[in-house]
Structure 1
Amino acid sequence: MKTFRITIIWATLTAFALINVSCEKEKPAPPRSMEQIKSEEGIPVEVSTIMPSDFSKELSFFSTVSGIVETVEYTKVKDQILSIRAKVGDYVKQGQLLMEFPTNNPSLQYEQAKVALDNSEKSYKRMKELLAAGEISQQVYDNTQAQYMVAKQNMESIEKLVKIKAPVSGTLISIPVRVGDVMGDNQALFTIAQLNKMIAKVQATDRELVQIKKGMPVQVFWNGFEYRGIVSDIGMEMNSMTRSFPIEITIDNPKQTLKSGVTVDVRIKVKETDQAIIIDRKLLVDEAGKKYVYLEKEGMATKRQVQTGIASGTNIEITDGLKPGDNLITCCTSFLEDGIKIKLNK
């Protein structure tokens, strides 16, 4: 009986031991630390092979454009518009009659001036004949001629008030009035622009100003189209309100598809470099005023000091420290150290 009890107890203890061993085998392994991963497998990274490419730095602005020549004609007399002889979009020549106002406005004395001109012209022609015949003195002729010139200039001045002509050749881009409108003083009648070239004016900070030179190439974008231009003028006086300097851009517009008054995206190319080594700024590691990147070499991370050049957006030029064919590590740089083991992600 005693032997039977001992046998049961022993069997029970053995079962508990087996269960305990089984439970211990089923327990998950504790998580590995970053140090263990570093030493056993290496830090997983991605790399990019350095290849030279063309690189440029641009300064970007927004601007409203206008024709290289743009003239607004204003009323010179208070009266009703009798006729409009052109429409928006027409190309007009300098001196072409575009609008007319009544000549019977009492304040103009149009008829009186016309009669005075006719009379003085007849007198002038008569005195010219008499002078040629030797029947009058030169002084009498000169006085008559002066009176005629005054009457002619007076008539021309009045006609300019009622017969509105194009001051320059160009395209009519605006006529904000209609026949029959009664106009007041100094109201806009029409705008003429020369649209084969356009002007954009931007405002540059003092830091931007030192990078901009006359003649620099400019790209202008509007409505899906790209236009070419140059920096044509650089202002030297700072605007006290905006703390900026005016920069003028002249844009080629041979097909006149770029319209006056639209807002465009202006990009001034301040520097261009052929076959440069370019990387993302975020890959630079700053330490004690020096800049470094990490390269992959034989499964290890290699820390390399570099010198930087011009920057544009998120990209920056590397002028020294990298060469074509280097394998640049492009992620996880915060986990890297010089000489640490790495593993390439596939």
Structure 2
Amino acid sequence: MKRTTLIALAATAALVLGGGYWMMQRAAVPNGKSAASAAEAGAPAGKPALTVQVVHATRGTVPLTLGASGNIAAWQEAIVGSQSNGLRLAELRANVGDWVKKGQVLAVFAADTVDADVLQARAALLEAEAQAADARSNAERARSIAGTGALSTQQINQFRTAEKATAARVQAARAALSSQRLRQGFTRVLAPDSGVISSRSATVGAVVPAGTELFRLVRQGRLEWRAEVVGQDLARIRSGQRVQVTSNAGTVVEGTVRSVAPTLDPAKRVALVYVDLPGGTDNGGLKAGMYASGQFILGEVDGWLVPQTAVVSRDGFNYVFAVASQGKVLQRKVTLGARQGELVQVLEGVDGELPLVQSGAGFLNDGDLVRVTQAAPVTAASAAAPAASAAQAPGTTGTGTAAAEPASAAPAANTSPR
């Protein structure tokens, strides 16, 4: 009895397992076809590794640029000093950061002693003029009676000498008065040019000697970028070229190459390139003393452009993954050129025919299957990011952009190299 029951249970289990296997085969092959017939019909075997968006390489232009870095400095800095000696500084009319015009009063010295000296010099001039007038009158009378014998020749010569001496004292008195008036003008410190006050060392109440620095002035508010460029790149830079200067704060300002230094630093082997920056409020907040990087715009080139996210670096080489028929990806080795923002130029390896995996290509290997969704085309004009790389090849870069998302069922085995 027990043996009969065991046999019945075994038969039932066999029937259940067989039926389950048959149902699984039916679900795996629709319409009741066998796996072999499905393979013969050309259906791809296996599940897609990723769901990706694809993008086609496009033709476009990218600026050829040369990167450099350096300090921002004043174009010219003027030192405003005291021309009066031993006077007390009574008033300051400008401070650091003020925009001043040429001839504007920056500071005033106490002029009491100088005014007194001017009055004294004027009085001395009047005295000298009076003495000169008397001597001139005496000399004229002596000349008028020279032939009568009333005066000796010696006396006549004395009158003539006195006339000339008093005339000379008048000239000396006038010069002394002019000097005192000049000192009186020095009590007002004037701006030598229009510009921005960059420093102030003057203090109200101080008695300063002549030549003491009171202010420093950035002439006309003009700044320049002093870019350090290695010797082999100097031949590519010309006066008048456009430059994009970027500060550490991200501010981008357009400048123009003014000149290139004739010599190189013997220690660094670099030369300074002087780039004029806009003055006033158009300089994007740049200040003298800032450190900035920049790009010299050397020209433009045309070529195939792809998104940088479509490029994968492996073993020191760059690759893209083209999507062929039935979702199969083909790994292609490429040679890259210049970059601009999100775009990169491909010099070799892309022909624009097959769509490329936009991002997530790092999870793929040659021959993997993917599920494709189409991405909107992106051109070089849509990449708003500034040029970020020096052009080292005779081509330009541009790209399209697209996002790739891993499929939820993507097996982990596809991430390992084959």
Instruction: Please state which band the TM-score falls in when normalised by the shorter chain.
Output: 0.5 to 0.7
- Report the counterpart of residue 201 of structure 1 in structure 2: 226
Counterpart AA for 1:92: K
Alpha-carbon displacement from aligned partner over 1:284-310 (angstroms, at most 9, x marks no partner):
5578x9765332232333454544332
Match of 2:346 among 288, 298, 318: 318
Larger CA Rg, structure 1 vs 2: 2
Shift of 1:81: 0.5
Q: Aligned match of 2:190 in 165, 187, 195? A: 165
The CA deviation at 1:191 is: 2.8
CA 1:293–1:15 in structure 2 vs 1: closer, same or farther (change >3 Å)?
A: same
Q: Are the aligned partners of 1:218 and 1:231 in contact in 2 as well (CA < 8 Å)? A: yes
**Alpha carbons of 1:79 and 1:148: their partners in 2 closer, same or farther (altered >3 Å)?**
closer
Q: Does 2:257 correspond to 1:231?
A: yes
SS at match of 1:230: strand
Aligned to 1:72: 79
Letter of the aligned partner of 2:240 in structure 1? Answer: G
Alignment of 1:168-179 (within 5 A): 168-172=193-197, 174-179=199-204
User: Alpha-carbon deviation of 1:9?
Assistant: 0.7
Question: Following TM superposition, by how much is the alpha carbon of 1:163 offset from its aligned partner in structure 2, in angstroms?
Answer: 4.1
- In the alignment, structure 1 residue 15 sits paired with structure 2 residue 15: no
How many Å separate the matches in 1 of 2:3 and 2:209? 121
Specify the alignment match of 1:33 in structure 2: none
Q: Which residue of 2 aligns with 1:218?
A: 243
Question: RMSD of the alignment, in Å?
Answer: 5.1
Separation of aligned partners in 2, 1:274 and 1:55 = 6
Cα shift at 1:84: 3.2
User: Counterpart of 2:8 in 1: which secondary structure?
Assistant: helix
Task: Return the offset for 1:214.
Answer: 2.9
**Residues 299-342 of structure 1 deviation map (CA, whole Å, 9 limit, x = unaligned):** 333454544332457753223443445412333356433xx253
Q: 1:277 to 1:174 in 2, by over 3 A?
A: same
Q: Does 1:40 align with 2:46?
A: yes
The answer to whether the aligner puts 1:84 opposite 2:92 as a matched pair is yes
Measure the CA separation in 1 of the matches of 2:179 and 2:107. Answer: 20
Range 321-330 or range 177-186, more displaced: 177-186
Q: CA deviation at 1:158?
A: 5.2
Corresponding position: 1:189 with 2:214: yes
Change (3 A) 1:90 1:296: closer
1:239, distance to aligned residue in structure 2 (A) = 3.6
Of 258, 281, 295, the match for 1:268: 295
Unaligned runs of 5+ in 2: 25-43, 141-159, 374-418
Q: Matched residues in 2 for 1:184 and 1:23: separation?
A: 111
- 1:11: Cα distance to partner? 1.6
Q: Secondary structure at the match of 1:52?
A: strand
Deviation of 1:250 after TM superposition, in Å, equals 0.7
Change (3 A) 1:273 1:194: same
What SS does the aligned partner of 1:98 have? strand
Partner residue of 2:279? 253
Indicate if the aligned counterparts of 1:55 and 1:278 stay in contact, CA closer than 8 A: no
Q: State the TM-score, normalizing by the size of structure 1.
A: 0.64
Instruction: Return the alpha-carbon distance in structure 1 between the equivalents of residues 233 and 16 of structure 2.
Output: 73
Does residue 1:342 correspond to 2:348, yes or no? no
The DSSP-based 3-state class of the residue aligned with 2:205 is coil
Instruction: Select between 168-177 and 45-54 the one with higher mean Cα deviation.
Output: 168-177
Flag the 1:102–1:312 CA change in 2: closer, same or farther, 3 A.
Answer: same
Give me the TM-score of the superposition, normalised by structure 2: 0.55
CA distance in 1 between counterparts of 2:303 and 2:255 reads: 25
Q: Which has the higher strand share?
A: 1
Cα distance, 1:221–1:270 mapped onto 2, change above 3 Å:
closer
Q: Secondary structure at the match of 2:255?
A: strand
Partner of 1:100 in structure 2? Answer: 108
Q: Does the CA-based 8 Å contact 2:56-2:352 persist in structure 1?
A: yes
Q: Residue 219 of structure 1 aligns to which amino acid in structure 2?
A: Q
Deviation at 1:196, TM superposition (A): 5.9
CA deviation vs aligned residue, 1:118-174 (integer Å, no higher than 9, x gap): 659967xx79xx8xx9x89xx999988996898589658856764433222334455
Asked if 2 retains the 8 angstrom alpha-carbon contact of 1:117 and 1:155, the reply is: no
